[in-house]
Structure 1
């Protein structure tokens, strides 16, 4: 099974470090891996580096043993289809004419260029994320934030990826819909055998989907394991603050 791996990443911002020797690996076909940490710690930046959108000056990001930032032409197209990211900014829409149908058809083109074409209908892709297929023909600007997030997930899944990088994927959904979508997403991930890195402040979502969680602070991974173990008696000051900010959630995990 292919592995997406960051090894010994270093990245500075001002006088501090965003990455200070950070290493992490996500394996296709394995249960989802969670990523937690305080706001501004660099979780979104890490996903940008893992997806090849950001080149880090020191350290390497590899997929299937090959450096991501050195991929060219066909190999890059294959990577873009095999590794997909859903960021918290995926809901941004600049073209008022853009529809979910168009967005998903564009994703199918990426799949074809990456050698992962398939005959799944756009309507079926929308149904897979709990959307009415008729919504596919409405302009994205008329969709709710939750509907746009569902479209972003469907777009990422449209290439049948082996690795999925999720950055706050369900924040725009109401609590009831978030719970239902979390269950549905967990089933989809297991069914498709996708390796997942889930970065989120939603501790309940992380706990529900991820048996293994990495805690990020001070530019690196400071703790790994089950979420209940990480937050039960954290040593790192940032993790203490994170646990203190969600006492009810932490109590439920114990």
Structure 2
């Protein structure tokens, strides 16, 4: 895995007609670095930021690059390489168009994407599931029979199947129960560390980010309002959105009191 693999946003402005959502975002996710958290309340622009990082949403100013190349301009082989090397997992990622589709076929399709993107692939479907805490018997299940939490875990396994250089997660465990979430987050952290995957995790789940991310960015008012460890983020009480977070997440926050 190239140590230089890097996804970068420079002075990024983005939004929609009549609405400015992002107002000058700078961040970088590099292979081999510890996971980076993106914290912020609902509606802060996390999903817009991730869509812009993937090249699906056009920025109004600034830009996004992958290893120095504008992601909006990637075509053909380069685009396929990008989609295999930089995997995005949305909380709505698992659209099911074929009611007969199984977990096995979904994972095998991910492996095919990896090969088309020039990535070697020698990991079994069973190993992919094990990395997200699912048993081998899930392989035969059709996607439509899975619970919401199981579907999210298959989405994570599908992303890991390409052995990406960079992984970008948008609220990856909202449907997973708290006890299972803690177990999966520990396994996911070990997998990310072992494979050297640069990871950006966008969430409003303070406890999840505390467990996974040694550094966190707080997104609010369209800007990065604070950077650092969670306790450092929470010290920026001059920002109303951070004060609200501190007051509304008392259990997780108490860890740092």
TM-score (norm 1): 0.96
Give the aligned partner of residue 166 of structure 1.
169
Give the aligned partner of residue 80 of structure 1.
83
Size of the aligned set, in residue pairs, is 254
Which of these residues, 43, 57, 69, is aligned with residue 60 of structure 2? 57
Q: Does the alignment pair 1:19 with 2:22? A: yes
Taking the aligned partners of 1:48 and 1:14, their CA distance within structure 2 comes to: 16
Q: Deviations over 1:106-133 (max 9, x none)?
A: 1111101110031222122112221111
- Contact in 2 for aligned 1:7/1:22 (Cα 8 Å): yes
Q: Deviations over 1:164-204 (max 9, x none)?
A: 00111111111110111111111111111100001111101
Give the aligned partner of residue 133 of structure 2.
130
Taking the aligned partners of 1:50 and 1:40, their CA distance within structure 2 comes to: 17
User: How is 1:105-184 mapped onto 2 (pairs within 5 angstroms)?
Assistant: 105-184=108-187
Give the aligned partner of residue 234 of structure 1.
237
Q: C-alpha displacement at 1:232, in angstroms?
A: 3.1
Runs of 4+ in 1 over 4 A off after TM superposition: none
Structure 2, unpaired ranges of 5+: none
Which of these residues, 25, 38, 43, is aligned with residue 40 of structure 1? 43
Structure 1, unpaired ranges of 5+: none
CA RMSD of aligned residues (A): 1.3
Taking the aligned partners of 2:18 and 2:241, their CA distance within structure 1 comes to: 19
- Contact in 2 for aligned 1:36/1:214 (Cα 8 Å): yes
TM-score (norm 2): 0.95
Aligned to 1:216, the other structure's residue is in SS state strand
